[in-house]
Amino acid sequence: MVGATDCERYWAKVDLDGPVPAHRPDLGPCWIWMAAFDGKGYGLVRFGGRTRRAHHVAMELAGIEVPRGRMRDHVCRNRACVRPTHCEVVDSKTNSLRGDCIASRNAQKTHCPSGHAYDEANTQYYKGARYCRKCRSGGRNPGRSGPTGYWDRWGHKAPPPRYAQP
Protein backbone atom coordinates (compact mmCIF):
# COMPACT_ATOMS: atom_id res chain seq x y z
CA MET A 1 0.00 0.00 0.00
CA VAL A 2 1.22 3.47 -0.87
CA GLY A 3 1.37 5.92 2.00
CA ALA A 4 1.04 9.71 1.87
CA THR A 5 4.71 9.98 2.79
CA ASP A 6 5.70 8.10 -0.38
CA CYS A 7 3.87 10.67 -2.53
CA GLU A 8 5.35 13.60 -0.62
CA ARG A 9 8.86 12.16 -0.91
CA TYR A 10 8.32 11.53 -4.61
CA TRP A 11 7.17 15.03 -5.55
CA ALA A 12 9.93 16.63 -3.48
CA LYS A 13 12.43 15.07 -5.95
CA VAL A 14 10.79 16.50 -9.10
CA ASP A 15 11.73 19.82 -10.76
CA LEU A 16 8.61 21.09 -12.57
CA ASP A 17 10.55 23.77 -14.48
CA GLY A 18 12.58 21.56 -16.80
CA PRO A 19 13.55 22.23 -20.41
CA VAL A 20 11.02 22.31 -23.25
CA PRO A 21 11.82 19.64 -25.88
CA ALA A 22 13.20 21.39 -28.98
CA HIS A 23 11.59 18.91 -31.37
CA ARG A 24 8.18 19.05 -29.63
CA PRO A 25 7.64 22.46 -27.96
CA ASP A 26 3.88 21.76 -27.91
CA LEU A 27 4.48 19.29 -25.05
CA GLY A 28 5.51 21.98 -22.59
CA PRO A 29 8.36 21.72 -20.07
CA CYS A 30 9.70 18.40 -18.84
CA TRP A 31 9.40 17.47 -15.18
CA ILE A 32 12.94 16.43 -14.31
CA TRP A 33 13.73 13.72 -11.76
CA MET A 34 16.38 15.08 -9.39
CA ALA A 35 17.34 11.99 -7.36
CA ALA A 36 18.86 8.58 -8.21
CA PHE A 37 19.27 7.22 -11.75
CA ASP A 38 19.92 3.80 -13.21
CA GLY A 39 22.71 3.07 -15.70
CA LYS A 40 20.49 3.99 -18.65
CA GLY A 41 19.55 7.44 -17.34
CA TYR A 42 16.06 6.68 -16.00
CA GLY A 43 15.10 7.96 -12.56
CA LEU A 44 14.82 5.48 -9.68
CA VAL A 45 12.64 5.84 -6.59
CA ARG A 46 11.75 3.69 -3.60
CA PHE A 47 7.96 3.69 -3.73
CA GLY A 48 5.43 1.33 -2.19
CA GLY A 49 8.15 -0.80 -0.63
CA ARG A 50 10.21 -1.43 -3.78
CA THR A 51 12.58 0.38 -6.13
CA ARG A 52 10.91 1.44 -9.38
CA ARG A 53 11.54 3.73 -12.31
CA ALA A 54 10.33 7.23 -11.51
CA HIS A 55 8.33 7.75 -14.72
CA HIS A 56 6.45 4.47 -14.09
CA VAL A 57 5.37 5.79 -10.70
CA ALA A 58 4.33 9.14 -12.23
CA MET A 59 2.08 7.40 -14.74
CA GLU A 60 0.62 5.21 -11.99
CA LEU A 61 -0.13 8.29 -9.85
CA ALA A 62 -1.80 9.91 -12.89
CA GLY A 63 -4.03 6.84 -13.30
CA ILE A 64 -2.49 5.67 -16.60
CA GLU A 65 -2.37 1.88 -16.83
CA VAL A 66 0.15 0.09 -19.02
CA PRO A 67 -1.16 -3.24 -20.37
CA ARG A 68 1.09 -6.29 -20.30
CA GLY A 69 3.33 -6.42 -23.37
CA ARG A 70 3.32 -2.63 -23.84
CA MET A 71 5.85 -0.06 -22.67
CA ARG A 72 6.20 3.62 -21.90
CA ASP A 73 7.84 5.78 -24.57
CA HIS A 74 9.26 9.20 -23.70
CA VAL A 75 7.86 11.39 -26.47
CA CYS A 76 10.09 14.22 -25.22
CA ARG A 77 13.21 11.97 -25.60
CA ASN A 78 14.36 12.93 -22.08
CA ARG A 79 14.86 9.85 -19.87
CA ALA A 80 14.95 11.97 -16.72
CA CYS A 81 11.46 13.35 -17.45
CA VAL A 82 8.62 12.08 -15.24
CA ARG A 83 5.77 14.15 -16.69
CA PRO A 84 2.97 11.66 -17.49
CA THR A 85 1.84 13.57 -20.60
CA HIS A 86 5.35 13.17 -22.02
CA CYS A 87 5.05 9.36 -21.92
CA GLU A 88 2.98 7.36 -24.36
CA VAL A 89 2.01 3.69 -24.06
CA VAL A 90 3.28 1.88 -27.18
CA ASP A 91 4.46 -1.55 -28.31
CA SER A 92 8.14 -2.49 -28.37
CA LYS A 93 8.57 -2.06 -32.13
CA THR A 94 7.14 1.48 -32.13
CA ASN A 95 9.35 2.42 -29.17
CA SER A 96 12.47 1.10 -30.91
CA LEU A 97 11.72 2.79 -34.22
CA ARG A 98 11.13 6.15 -32.52
CA GLY A 99 14.50 6.02 -30.78
CA ASP A 100 17.95 6.85 -32.06
CA CYS A 101 19.42 3.40 -32.69
CA ILE A 102 20.73 1.45 -35.67
CA ALA A 103 17.36 -0.22 -36.30
CA SER A 104 15.47 3.07 -36.41
CA ARG A 105 18.07 4.74 -38.64
CA ASN A 106 17.98 1.81 -41.08
CA ALA A 107 14.17 1.77 -41.10
CA GLN A 108 14.15 5.45 -42.10
CA LYS A 109 16.31 4.84 -45.17
CA THR A 110 14.38 5.10 -48.43
CA HIS A 111 17.20 4.12 -50.81
CA CYS A 112 19.97 1.49 -50.87
CA PRO A 113 23.66 2.59 -50.81
CA SER A 114 23.65 2.48 -54.64
CA GLY A 115 20.71 4.87 -54.83
CA HIS A 116 17.90 2.44 -55.74
CA ALA A 117 14.56 3.06 -54.05
CA TYR A 118 13.34 0.68 -51.35
CA ASP A 119 9.87 0.26 -52.83
CA GLU A 120 7.46 -2.67 -53.10
CA ALA A 121 8.89 -3.94 -56.40
CA ASN A 122 12.58 -3.48 -55.57
CA THR A 123 12.73 -4.66 -51.95
CA GLN A 124 13.38 -8.21 -50.83
CA TYR A 125 13.17 -9.38 -47.21
CA TYR A 126 15.16 -12.29 -45.81
CA LYS A 127 15.51 -13.22 -42.14
CA GLY A 128 14.38 -9.80 -40.96
CA ALA A 129 16.70 -7.81 -43.23
CA ARG A 130 15.76 -5.97 -46.41
CA TYR A 131 17.75 -6.00 -49.63
CA CYS A 132 17.70 -4.12 -52.92
CA ARG A 133 16.67 -6.52 -55.71
CA LYS A 134 18.56 -4.54 -58.37
CA CYS A 135 21.84 -4.69 -56.46
CA ARG A 136 21.45 -8.37 -55.61
CA SER A 137 20.55 -9.38 -59.17
CA GLY A 138 23.73 -7.77 -60.53
CA GLY A 139 25.86 -10.62 -59.20
CA ARG A 140 29.19 -10.46 -57.44
CA ASN A 141 31.32 -10.59 -60.61
CA PRO A 142 30.88 -8.47 -63.77
CA GLY A 143 29.47 -10.39 -66.70
CA ARG A 144 27.39 -12.76 -64.60
CA SER A 145 23.65 -12.74 -65.02
CA GLY A 146 23.04 -12.91 -61.27
CA PRO A 147 24.14 -14.50 -58.04
CA THR A 148 24.08 -18.25 -57.77
CA GLY A 149 23.36 -20.07 -54.55
CA TYR A 150 22.22 -18.48 -51.33
CA TRP A 151 23.55 -15.32 -49.67
CA ASP A 152 23.42 -14.37 -46.02
CA ARG A 153 22.53 -10.89 -44.76
CA TRP A 154 26.14 -9.71 -45.08
CA GLY A 155 26.41 -10.74 -48.74
CA HIS A 156 28.50 -13.86 -48.13
CA LYS A 157 27.86 -17.22 -49.69
CA ALA A 158 25.63 -19.28 -47.37
CA PRO A 159 24.40 -22.86 -47.39
CA PRO A 160 20.84 -23.42 -48.64
CA PRO A 161 18.10 -23.17 -46.02
CA ARG A 162 17.05 -26.42 -44.41
CA TYR A 163 13.47 -27.54 -44.45
CA ALA A 164 11.81 -29.85 -41.96
CA GLN A 165 11.33 -33.37 -43.20
CA PRO A 166 7.71 -34.65 -43.06
Give strand pairing partners of 141: none
Residue bearing the bigger pLDDT, 80 or 159: 80
DSSP H helices in 32-115: 54-61, 92-98, 102-107
The pLDDT tens digits of the residues spanning 36-76 come to 999 999 999 999 889 999 999 999 999 999 999 999 999 99
Q: Is the pLDDT of residue 10 over 60?
A: yes
Instruction: Read off the pLDDT of each residue in 137-144 and give the average, rounded to a whole number.
Output: 51
pTM of the model: 0.66
pLDDT at 136 over 50: yes
pLDDT at 155 (0 to 100)? 66
Higher-pLDDT residue of 120, 100: 120
